[in-house]
């Protein structure tokens, strides 16, 4: 049957807003901070992803849900280097967000500049539900 | 009519606790007893890495331009501050396509007219001004300090040295 993955549920717990409203959880519980802005004819999703390479960011839209994955290369351990503070994220991250309305996945575009990913998704008039990969320019 | 939402209260509590811990941490980290805690210190996540020659500070500052970032090294404390114009990045991404569709008769501030068309479903990236002070544990060569900004990460390299002076020194962000 259609069993749900417990990790998906945990992710949804933090990634969605099950209790309604523009609730913001503690910074450490989120993988990345995002904005979802709605304009007349499109949605613009912006995500803070400082320090990633453009080619290591994967953006997918499927079934009204946008998933952003950013892979971080394993750091080369250097015996001479000593961390006095280590607050920045050093792991790969994934964040999913439900889009408020149907979008044209195939016409979506994404850019990465100054550590901020911007995904532009034109609103759909009809139904589209195919998974589609969005190139990061 | 205002019903209390228990989740809001928990969230507020966590936020206050975080602020207090941060103030406490800032006081403990500060080089002298006269230096106050720094509000908003959570805004910038930093790594501080030491090797034989230098101390390197990495700071996450997504969405800023290099010239919007200010750095100062004074009294063995590195201060990082960044400020960006309000709504700049979102408006820039959308205004060009919208400008043709809207009538251009209104002479008002474009930020005002743009704001009426946008509705935020999530607005977590709201930090327009962030700052952080990081104590540097060893004397460093001020004149040899360098800084770069790539992919939203500021990297400040401070060469170590044996002697120290207390004058403030501004570091250019390249």
Model pLDDT, residue B161:
83
Q: Which residue shows structure tokens 């975080």?
A: B18
Q: Which of A64, A52, A73, A74 is nearest to A136 (CA)?
A: A52
Q: Does A51 touch chain B (CB under 8 A)?
A: yes
Asked if B106 and B113 count as a contact pair (C-beta separation under 8 A), the reply is yes
pLDDT in tens, A82-94: 999 999 988 889 9
Does residue A94 lie in a domain region?
yes
How many structural domains comprise chain A?
1
Residue B145 has pLDDT above 80, yes or no: yes
Q: Does A93 touch chain B (CB under 8 A)?
A: no
| Together in a domain, B1 and B79 | no
Model pLDDT, residue B126:
73
Q: Does B111 touch chain A (CB under 8 A)?
A: no
CA B140/CA B123 separation, integer angstroms: 40
Residue B53 has pLDDT above 50, yes or no: yes
**Least confident span in A100-104, B10-14, B20-24:** B20-24
How many structural domains comprise chain B?
3
> How would you classify residue B87: left for phi > 0, otherwise alpha for psi between -120 and 50, otherwise beta?
left
DSSP state at residue B53: S
Nearest to B64 among A80, A82, A114 (CB): A114
Model pLDDT, residue B3:
63
**CATH number where A59 lies:** 2.60.40.790
CA A56/CA A74 separation, integer angstroms: 12
Does residue A19 lie in a domain region?
no
CA distance B169 to chain A (A): 23
pLDDT in tens, A30-87: 588 899 999 999 999 999 999 999 999 999 998 889 999 999 876 666 678 899 999 9
| Together in a domain, B92 and B64 | no
Does residue B122 lie in a domain region?
no
Does residue B139 lie in a domain region?
yes
H or E segment at A57? strand A57-62
Range of the domain at B95: 88-117
Interface test with A, best of B14, B59, B124 (most A CBs within 10 A): B124
Q: Does A82 touch chain B (CB under 8 A)?
A: yes
CA A74/CA A9 separation, integer angstroms: 27
pLDDT band at residue B12 under the 50/70/90 scheme: confident
**Lookup: tokens for A13:** 């717990």
Looking at the DSSP bridge assignments, the partners of residue B70 are: B81
Q: Does A88 touch chain B (CB under 8 A)?
A: yes
Model pLDDT, residue A80:
81
Model pLDDT, residue A31:
80
């Amino acid at each position: 049957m259609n069993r749900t993955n417990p990790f998906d549920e945990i992710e949804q717990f933090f990634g969605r807003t099950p209790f309604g409203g523009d609730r913001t959880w503690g910074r450490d519980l989120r993988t990345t901070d995002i904005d979802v802005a709605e304009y007349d004819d499109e949605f613009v999703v912006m995500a803070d992803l400082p320090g990633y390479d453009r080619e290591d960011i994967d953006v997918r839209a499927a079934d009204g849900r946008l998933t952003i994955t950013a892979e971080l290369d394993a750091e080369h351990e250097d015996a001479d280097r000593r961390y006095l503070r280590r607050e920045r994220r050093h792991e790969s991250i994934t964040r999913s967000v439900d889009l408020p309305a149907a979008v044209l996945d195939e016409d979506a575009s994404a850019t990465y500049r100054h550590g901020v990913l911007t995904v532009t998704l034109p609103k759909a008039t009809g139904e589209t539900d195919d998974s589609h990969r969005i190139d990061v320019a | 009519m205002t019903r209390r939402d228990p989740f809001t209260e928990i969230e507020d509590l966590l936020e206050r606790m975080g602020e207090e811990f941060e103030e406490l941490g800032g006081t403990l980290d500060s080089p002298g007893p006269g230096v106050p805690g720094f509000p908003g210190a959570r805004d910038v996540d930093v790594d501080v890495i030491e090797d034989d020659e230098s101390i390197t500070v990495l700071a996450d500052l997504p969405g800023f331009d290099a010239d919007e970032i200010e750095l100062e090294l004074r009294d063995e404390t590195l201060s990082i501050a960044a400020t960006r114009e309000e709504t700049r990045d979102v408006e820039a991404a959308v205004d060009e396509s919208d400008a043709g569709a809207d009538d251009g008769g209104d002479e008002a501030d474009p930020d005002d007219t743009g704001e009426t068309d946008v509705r935020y479903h999530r607005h977590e990236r709201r930090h327009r001004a962030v700052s952080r002070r990081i104590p540097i544990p060893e004397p460093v060569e001020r004149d040899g300090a360098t800084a770069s900004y790539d992919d939203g990460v500021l990297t400040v390299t401070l060469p170590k040295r044996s002697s120290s002076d207390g004058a403030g020194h501004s570091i250019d962000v390249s």
